[in-house]
Amino acid sequence: MVEQRFFWRRAVAFIIDLLLLGLIVTVFAALLNIFAGTNIVAPGLIKSSRCVEAEHFSAEKMNTFFPLVENSEHFQRQCEITHFFVTSYRVAVVGMIVKNGDSSFSRHVSYGVDPAGNPTRIFDLGNFIYFFAPFLFAYGLYRRKATWGKSLMSVCVVDERKNAPTFKNALTREGVKFAPLILFSLYNIYMQLAVQSDAATSDAVVEQLVDMLRTLLGTSQQNTWILIAASVVFGVVALWFYFGSFIRWNGQAYWDRLTGLYVMRKDQPFPQQTGATAVNLSDQNPSSEEVEADK
């Protein structure tokens, strides 16, 4: 079978799916915040931030957290971050910046705060959206051969017999596709639960965060560059995972090949390797004249 890439159609469809799902979750979070008094943050698929200088700690305390070295200085900020133009939260950002000639690097930590500047836990639904997205999108493929975005972009997902995928196949496909995002969300959830679990003051929260930062980076700039290099490698691998398979397999991504599924335009004939007559994706039944002719 010869597949086509449909890269831009698939990319736009994926973005549409995430934005529509994020909008639904945002409305849910906003209603809970209004009527239940919760402090839930919508997914950060669209977000903006506004930061101002703010003194959270004294200079002596900041030097305890981040001992100054040559050509370095402390900074303290408070940022208001808005997700999907509706829900917002505040974070305190404290750290230091070190200048080394024309380059510089910073070490800082951030934590959620209330309007008074006291530490608070932030419940971000964005860390959970990627867990139930595969189930929702898989159901769309199972029922209609397409998600919302794919329907708008006039593409669908089918098996070799041009049928809708089974729910198991569709869920496997979506689960593999979302795997990197799920792993990243698990890391964020762990960080949220690990920090502030037994800390009631800003000092205790920052001490926890600084200890974790020192464990991760050590005290030298070399460790910082190692972490940056590791992040670049991870980014390259992620890019190949999401885009490389379109080049290697002519449009059948890893999750498509694993499940034996294909993405095609709804009005596109179904191509065959054998050169047989193409079959349209729409259900086709023989006409009465054809049946009589066969007889």
Q: Is 64 helix (H, G, I), strand (E, B) or coil?
A: helix
pLDDT at 173: 96
Q: Which residues contact 97 (CB under 8 A, 6 or more apart)?
A: 72, 73, 75, 104, 105, 106
Compute the distance between CA of residue 248 and CA of residue 8 in angstroms, rounded to an integer: 16
**CA 91/CA 114 separation, integer angstroms:** 8
Location of structure tokens 């066969």:
294
Tokens representing residue 193 in the block: 């639960």
CB atoms within 10 A of CB 278: 11
Report the relative pairing of strands 72-83 and 87-100 from DSSP bridges.
antiparallel
Indicate if the alpha-carbon torsion angle 114, 119, 120, 124 is positive or negative. Answer: positive
Task: Please report, for the chain, how many H helices and E strands are present, in that order.
Answer: 10, 10
Length of the chain: 295
Provide the token pair at 185.
């969300």
Hunting for tokens 């992620």 — which residue is that? 238
Q: In whole angstroms, what is the distance from residue 60 CA to residue 70 CA?
A: 17
Q: Is residue 119 within 8 Å of 205, Cβ to Cβ?
A: yes
Q: Can you give the pLDDT at residue 288?
A: 40
pLDDT tens profile 27-68? 998 898 888 877 788 888 888 999 999 999 999 999 999 999
CA 145/CA 135 separation, integer angstroms: 14
**Considering just the CA atoms, what is the radius of gyration of the chain in Å?**
25
* Residue pair 206/65 in contact by the 8 Å Cβ criterion: yes
The DSSP string of 181-238 is: HHHHHHHHHHHHHHSSSS--SHHHHHHHHHHHHHHHHTTSHHHHHHHHHHHHHHHHHH
Q: Rounded to an integer, what distance in angstroms lies between the CA atom of residue 124 and that of residue 26?
A: 11
Instruction: Output the pLDDT for position 199.
Output: 53
Residue labelled with tokens 């593999």: 176
**What pLDDT does 275 receive?**
37
Q: Quick: pLDDT tens for 75-111.
A: 999 999 998 888 888 999 999 998 887 888 888 888 8
Tokens, residue 36: 């239940």
Chain centroid to CA 77: 26
What are the residues whose beta carbons fall under 8 Å from the beta carbon of 36, sequence distance 6 or more? none
Q: Which residues of the chain register pLDDT less than 50? A: 1-2, 273-295
At 175 the pLDDT is 96
Torsion sign, CA atoms 13, 15, 19, 21: positive
